[in-house]
Structure 1
Amino acid sequence: MTGYLVRRLPSALGVLLLASFAIFLILRAVQGDPAETLAGSDPSPESVGAIRHELGLDRPLLTQYGAWIADVVRGDFGRSYIIGGSVNELLAQRLGNTVELTVGALVFTIALGLLFGVLGVTVKNRFGQTLLSAVNSVSLIVPAYVSGFLLVFVFAITWPVLPPGGHVSILSDPQIGFQYLLMPALVLALPPSAILARYVKDGLQQALGEDYARTAKSLGIPPRRILWRHALPNALPPVLTVLGMQVGVLLGGAVIIEAVFAWPGLGMLAEQAVTRRDYPVIQAVLLFLVVVYVVVQLLTDLAYALIDPRVRLG
């Protein structure tokens, strides 16, 4: 297992380095200058130039990138151009809220993915299969922000049983916090849960067609026990890889969903930073999301290799 980890680490570090360089260059390619924002309305070229020099924006791009990535390696994401505070502190203030939303969405993703995947195998009638297929397709096709607005319209405006937005920590008040978490976490979980359900269904169908499943059926073992005790554990390893990939989808979707539901997490922080051209904040949020995605992928690969020795021995 150690050898497998050593083989995987260089590629993970390479992805992080390329992603950091791409983030840095893309932000500089976008129109807009933070110095002009800081200089106020109708600034003189001299004042804009002075601010650019103070922020180091007049240096060559490679020099700026080198200085930034060197600070990042030391754990320092710099200072916000607009707010003026430490970017590390801004991330720490919002990170817990985004983690809460992502974990909630991940729970919904696993629960809904397993539920509809198992139903896809156990439901035999045509109407049930058509209904499951329709729900799965709608979950994949409808954008998250559209389903978010629909849920707000139904459950916060038309039938006001849930708050339309905002945040109360589920740790400080579980009952109220769950009410605030329910809609954004569910909206965020719908697309990845539909993907997960398809893989669970395909894995179960393949597992139920294996010799051990047919032998168990011939011995009179109840179909439900064959499904849960034998087929499902053998269908989970490929599903684990897909689930690891969906964590990145959840993190990326959180940026949009937080704006829809006024959830004060990293997504809203990034949105505010984009409108103000606050480079250090945007870079820190995007790089943090990439780091989390790469780490989750690495852990998923390690878990898969632990389950299936052929992966690590290959």
Structure 2
Amino acid sequence: MTRYLLGRVPSIVLVLFATSVIAFLLPRLAPGDPAAEIAGPNASAATITAIRAQLGIDQPLVTQYLHWLGGLFTGDLGQSFQYHRPVAELIGSRVDSTVELAVLAGFFLVMAGIGLGVLAGSARSRWGRVCVDGVNTVLLAAPPFLVGLLLVLVFGVAMRLLPISGEMSVLDNPAIGLQYLLLPALALALPMSAGVARLVQTSMLGVRQEDFVDLAVAKGVPPMRISLRHVLRNSLGPAVVAIGIRFGDLLAGAVVIEAIFARNGLGQLAVTSAQTADYPVVQVLIVATVLVAVLAQLATEITLAALDPRIRLEQ
């Protein structure tokens, strides 16, 4: 395990370095000038030039990049142009909201994806498989924002069971916080779970053709035990890979979902910062998103090795 992790360090460093270059250049290639945003529409050219010098964005790009990269290594993420606060402090004040949403959505993603996949892969009735396949098809075709709007209309407007906007931290009040989290987490997780379910279903149907499954049937092992203990465990490889990839997508999907449900998380911060050309915030958010995706991929490979003894991480 240690040898494997050490072997992955160079590739992770290379990915993060390339990400830092892209994260630095991308906001500067987009239209907009942070100095003009701060100065206002009626500011003179001299005022804008002075603000650019104050922000340090009048220096050569290489100098700006090296200064920012050095700050990353020392823990100094810079100062927000728009909020006039340290980026680390600004992100820290919003990260709880997004983490709560991502964790609950990830739980729903795993439960719904594997649950629907097992139902489809275990259903003996033709109509049962058709019904589960129909649900999967609908979820695959529906983007998260559409699922979110439907959930709002059904559970928030028509039935008035759950709040449709705002938030409360689960740490402050678990019961109320979960009520605010349920709809956005479901809206984020359900469309992604359909792809996981399809992989589990396909893999289970393939594993059912193996000899050891026929042997278990011949021994009279109950069908449910065969499905869960023998078939499912040997079918989880593709699902684990898909779930690891989807965990990276949760942060990207949170941008839209937080806008629909008026949550004040990193998604809203990313949109606002991109609109106002707040370079320091956008840069850090891009690098943080890629870092989460890299760690999720690493955790996926370790989980695969734990599930399948044939996989050796040292190789």
- 1:54 shift after superposition: 1.1
Aligned equivalents of 2:296, 2:170: Cα separation in 1 = 24
Aligned equivalents of 1:94, 1:169: Cα separation in 2 = 11
Aligned equivalents of 2:141, 2:24: Cα separation in 1 = 32
Q: Is the 8 A contact 1:170 1:177 kept in 2?
A: yes
- 1:11 shift after superposition: 1.1
Q: Counterpart in 1 of 2:151? A: 151
Q: Counterpart in 1 of 2:32? A: 32
Q: Counterpart in 2 of 1:134? A: 134
Q: Is the 8 A contact 1:196 1:239 kept in 2?
A: yes
Q: Counterpart in 2 of 1:96? A: 96
- 1:312 matches 2:313: yes
**RMSD over aligned Cα atoms:** 1.5
Query: CA separation of 1:58/1:100 partners in 2, compared to 1, >3 Å: closer, same or farther?
Result: same
- 1:311 shift after superposition: 4.0
Q: Counterpart in 2 of 1:80? A: 80
Q: Is the 8 A contact 2:121 2:200 kept in 1?
A: no
Q: Counterpart in 2 of 1:207? A: 207
SS at 2:311 equivalent: helix
Matches within 5 A, 1:1-314: 1-306=1-306, 307-314=308-315
SS at 1:165 equivalent: coil
- 1:174 shift after superposition: 2.2
Aligned equivalents of 1:140, 1:311: Cα separation in 2 = 33
Higher mean C-alpha deviation, range 171-180 or range 80-89: 171-180
Aligned equivalents of 2:303, 2:120: Cα separation in 1 = 26
Q: Is the 8 A contact 1:5 1:302 kept in 2?
A: no
Aligned equivalents of 2:281, 2:18: Cα separation in 1 = 19
- 1:95 shift after superposition: 0.9
Q: Is the 8 A contact 2:27 2:274 kept in 1?
A: no
Aligned equivalents of 2:124, 2:148: Cα separation in 1 = 32
Unpaired stretches in structure 2, ≥5 consecutive residues:
none
Query: CA separation of 1:219/1:126 partners in 2, compared to 1, >3 Å: closer, same or farther?
Result: closer
SS at 1:78 equivalent: coil
Q: Is the 8 A contact 2:3 2:314 kept in 1?
A: no
- 1:120 shift after superposition: 0.5
SS at 2:313 equivalent: helix
Q: Given the two structures, how large is their TM-score scaled by the length of structure 2?
A: 0.95
- 1:247 shift after superposition: 0.4
SS at 2:165 equivalent: coil
Aligned equivalents of 2:208, 2:133: Cα separation in 1 = 20
Q: Given the two structures, how large is their TM-score scaled by the length of structure 1?
A: 0.95
Q: Is the 8 A contact 1:304 1:311 kept in 2?
A: no
- 1:86 shift after superposition: 0.8
SS at 2:127 equivalent: helix
Aligned equivalents of 2:114, 2:197: Cα separation in 1 = 6
- 1:73 shift after superposition: 1.6
